């Protein structure tokens, strides 16, 4: 019976094997989790003696190995260049500074665009090294990558420079587009990564909230147009114009350029203002709750890794180093990590806190 279970479990877990609808996915916890909620595959580093240039370049640019000196140097260089670009765009908007340092600003822009262009080309070239199967095709995989949010940000970061050679663009418009380079920092910030994950996971909830807000805005504009059009034909001349009042009222801003003067209009405006407080709080509540849940998931993931490392009663130097790396990758502070370790050791790992042979406490033994 046990051999039959082991054989079926091993067969079900074979990579790339497509299971029939009536075939078991396996009885182990990992089998069930991978069948229902599979994790994204991780980057597979090739052996150093056989590692291709493309694989090595991907490891430096995208794999996120903080122990790699080249990868760390690359991240610091790109982050510094992006920060200097944002500072240059801000300073360039000052007329006196632009007149005095126009040549230096231009050459720095040329240098930055050249670096960002090479970076984008390298990321496109190394796309096929990504662990996700959808990027493995040499043409379609790279094409799919070009439509990912990070790739679109990289394209927009250099687009104004090349567009200036083709069409005449307003200088202010180009500066705004160049400021979008700051979004390139999202791939280097753990906080922004968490926020993007939250927005991705709660997209349906945000969509539902925005849809309700749109319906309420349309209803508010229609009703205030009905109540106020005759009294204020210039302010509420049509429903599209009334939508401005609906937006500033629902968001509880109230600039004062448009407001009701009739009794029914005032009553309706007061009711909409009260409803608007709840509507504005709804997306904020969704965001705060999802952000807190993401942080909780990261702590639980680290706790699971700690339990796995301590499960044999011995913590090796290699396991300790791996836990430190996981802690950095998940953005967990030292205090949080120590608290998780403390509760893991004290809260049920009897085989770690006590000797597996004699049962005596290992915590009271003098060093």
**Is residue 121 pLDDT above 80, yes or no?**
yes
pLDDT higher at 165 or 38? 165
**Is residue 115 pLDDT above 90, yes or no?**
yes
Topology of the domain comprising 53-188: 1.20.120
pLDDT tens-digit map of 312-348: 766 777 778 788 878 777 777 777 778 877 777 665 5
Long-range contacts for 98-101 (Cβ within 8 Å, ≥24 apart)?
none
Structural domain boundaries in the chain: 2-36, 53-188, 190-367
HSE at residue 302, side-chain half, CA atoms within 13 A, is 26
pLDDT tens-digit map of 303-322: 888 888 777 766 777 778 78
Number of CB atoms found within 10 A of residue 253's CB: 11
pLDDT at 46: 58
What is this structure's pTM?
Answer: 0.59
pLDDT at 144: 93
Question: How confident is residue 120, by pLDDT bands cut at 50, 70 and 90?
Answer: very high
Whether 53-188 shares its CATH topology with 190-367 is answered no
What are the residue ranges of helices labelled H in the chain? 2-12, 29-36, 53-61, 69-92, 95-125, 140-146, 149-163, 171-179, 190-201, 203-228, 239-250, 263-310, 317-330, 334-346, 350-353
pLDDT tens-digit map of 203-243: 888 888 889 888 999 999 999 999 998 888 888 888 988 89
Topology of the domain comprising 190-367: Helix Hairpins (1.10.287)
pLDDT higher at 57 or 9? 57
pLDDT tens-digit map of 271-292: 988 888 888 788 888 888 888 8
- Rounded Cα distance between 305 and 302, Å, is 5
pLDDT tens-digit map of 250-278: 887 777 778 888 999 999 988 988 888 88
Distances (CA, A) of 346 to 322, 340, 349, 363, 366: 21, 10, 7, 10, 18
- Rounded Cα distance between 249 and 221, Å, is 10
**Is residue 43 pLDDT above 60, yes or no?**
no
Number of CB atoms found within 10 A of residue 327's CB: 20
Q: What is the mean pLDDT of residues 30-45?
A: 55
The 3-state DSSP class for residue 363 equals coil
Residue 235 and residue 258 in contact, taking contact as beta carbons nearer than 8 Å: yes
């Amino acid at each position: 019976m046990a051999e039959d279970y082991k054989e079926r479990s091993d067969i079900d877990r074979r990579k790339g094997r497509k299971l029939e609808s009536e075939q078991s996915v396996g009885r182990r916890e990992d089998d069930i989790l991978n069948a229902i909620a599979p994790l994204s595959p991780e980057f597979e580093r090739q052996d150093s003696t056989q590692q291709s240039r493309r694989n090595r370049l991907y490891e430096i640019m995208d794999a996120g190995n903080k122990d790699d000196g080249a990868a760390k140097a690359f991240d610091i260089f790109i982050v510094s260049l992006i920060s200097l670009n944002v500072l240059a765009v801000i300073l360039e908007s000052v007329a006196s500074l632009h007149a005095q340092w126009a040549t230096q600003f231009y050459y720095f822009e040329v240098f930055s665009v050249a670096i960002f262009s090479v970076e984008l080309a390298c990321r496109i070239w190394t796309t096929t090294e990504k662990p996700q199967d959808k990027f493995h095709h040499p043409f379609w995989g790279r094409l799919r990558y070009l439509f990912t949010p990070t790739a679109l940000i990289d394209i927009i970061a250099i687009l104004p420079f090349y567009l200036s050679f083709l069409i005449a663009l307003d200088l202010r418009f180009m500066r705004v587009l160049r400021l979008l380079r700051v979004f390139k920092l999202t791939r280097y910030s753990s906080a922004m990564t968490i926020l993007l994950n939250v927005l991705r996971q709660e997209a349906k909830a945000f969509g539902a909230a925005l849809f309700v807000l749109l319906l309420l805005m349309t209803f508010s504009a229609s009703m205030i147009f009905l109540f106020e059009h005759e009294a204020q034909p210039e302010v509420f001349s049509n429903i599209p114009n009334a939508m401005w009042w609906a937006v500033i009222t629902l968001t509880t801003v109230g600039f004062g350029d448009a407001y009701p003067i009739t009794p029914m209009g005032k009553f309706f405006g007061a009711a909409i203002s009260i409803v608007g407080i709840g509507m504005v709080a709804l997306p904020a509540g969704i965001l705060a709750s999802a952000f807190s849940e993401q942080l909780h998931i990261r702590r639980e993931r680290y706790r699971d890794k700690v339990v796995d490392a301590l499960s044999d009663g011995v913590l090796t130097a290699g396991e300790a180093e791996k836990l430190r790396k996981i802690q950095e990758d998940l953005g967990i502070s030292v205090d949080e990590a120590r608290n998780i370790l403390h509760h893991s050791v004290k809260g049920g790992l009897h085989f770690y806190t006590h000797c597996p042979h004699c049962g005596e406490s290992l915590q009271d033994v003098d060093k």
